[in-house]
Amino acid sequence: MQVHIVFTAFGKASNFPILESIKEFKDINTICLTSRATKKYWQSAGITTYHTFFNPMSKLSRLFRYIIRNNIWLSKHVSKVIFNHKILRDTVVVPHNLRHFLSLEVISGLNPEDFVFLTDARDLVFQVSPITIAKRLVADDVVHLFDEGVSYFRNNLPQDFINSKSNFEWIQQLLNYPDSLNNFDLKNPIINSGCIAGRVKNLTRLLTETTILMSNSKYGLGSILDQAAVNIAVYKEVPNVSTYLVNKNGKIVLNMCGIINEDVGIENGKIHFNAKVIPIIHQFDRFGTYSSPFGLRLSRRKYKSIGVETN
C-alpha cells in the first residue's frame, strides 16, 4: 500500500511546515496541486506535481472572482458554465474549492487501494510517520474525518453550526440560501476540511459528492465552500452506511481552532495527550510556530488544554 500526501500551493516551492515535518520519513509520495508556471519549482524540490494551465491566484483570476461574486446575475448564470469547462474552472474557482476537483482528478490515476492524506500545507504537521498513521486507519476501510472539538478557542462557545457564524453562512451559500435547513442538524460537530484521509476508492466517493455540491452552488466560484461541502456530504449520508468516520478532535488530528476537554501537553516540540503523541497537528500557527528539528513552539497565546503559559 503506497501512502500519498496531497496538498495545494500555487506559488513557488517553499519549506512548508508539512514538508519539514515529514522529511525524515521515507517511502511517502507527496503531490503538490499547483499551476503550470510554478510546477518546475516543486519538481526541482523533488515533489510530484499535478497542475492547472493558468494560476487561479493570479490578479486576473482574482478580478474575475470579484466581479462574479458581486454580480447576482453572473453568479446565477455563469457559474455552471465555468464549472463545466475545465480550463475556466481551473482558472476562476477559488483554490480552497478547486483543490477538491484537482484532488479527484489526481487520485483517479492512483491504485484504488492506496492511502491518501488530503491536507493543508502551511499550518499542519505530522508528528508521527504518515505510514504509521495510515496503517492504523486503513483497517476501518472508511474515509476518516476530524471534528473541531468541543468549543471554539476564541469564545469557548460550542463548536457547531448554531454558534459558528462563518460555518453556518458557508452551509447556506453552498445550498443557495434555502428557506430552511430541516434536513441538516445544526448541532452537528463541525468537521474540519484541513485533513481528510482514506483509501483512494473511498475518497473518490467523498470528492465526487463535494465537487457536485460546489458545482451546483451559485457561490461556488468565489466563496470558500469546501468545508461546508464536506460537512453536507458526510452528514446527509443514509444512517447505518459506514462510508465515513468522524474522529473526535485530538484522537488522530488536533484541530487547534477547537478546545478539547482533555488536558494535553507539549514536550520536546511535540504535543501529546495521555502520554501519547498526537499524530497530526493542524492550525498550530494560531498559537505558535514550527521549525525543524525543534518542532512546535507555542509563543503567541495559550491554548487552553495545554496548560502551559506562553508569551
For residue 75, what are the contacts with CB-CB under 8 A and spacing of at least 6? 68, 69, 218, 219, 221
- Nine-digit cell string for 121: 500545507
Question: Which tens digits make up the pLDDT trace of 134-190?
Answer: 999 999 999 999 999 888 877 878 889 999 999 999 999 999 988 777 778 889 999
Question: What angle do the packed helices 226-235 and 165-174 form, to 10 degrees?
Answer: 80
The C-alpha cell that represents 180 in the structure block: 430552511
Asked if residue 10 lies in contact with residue 37, where contact means CB atoms within 8 angstroms, the answer is no
What are the residue ranges spanned by the domains of the chain? 3-247, 254-298
- pLDDT at 267 exceeding the cut of 90: no
CATH code for the structural domain at 3-247: 3.90.550
In what side-by-side order are the strands of the sheet with 270-273?
264-267, 270-273, 276-277
| CA–CA gap between residue 41 and residue 55 (Å, rounded) | 14
Predicted TM-score (pTM) of the model is: 0.93
Residue pointed to by grid coordinates 504535543: 271
Cell of 258: 477547537
Chain segment 188-213, per-residue pLDDT in tens: 999 999 999 999 999 999 999 999 99
Do residues 255 and 149 lie in contact, with contact meaning Cβ atoms separated by under 8 Å?
Answer: yes
Written as one letter, the residue type at 282 is: H
At residue 304, the 3 state secondary structure works out as coil
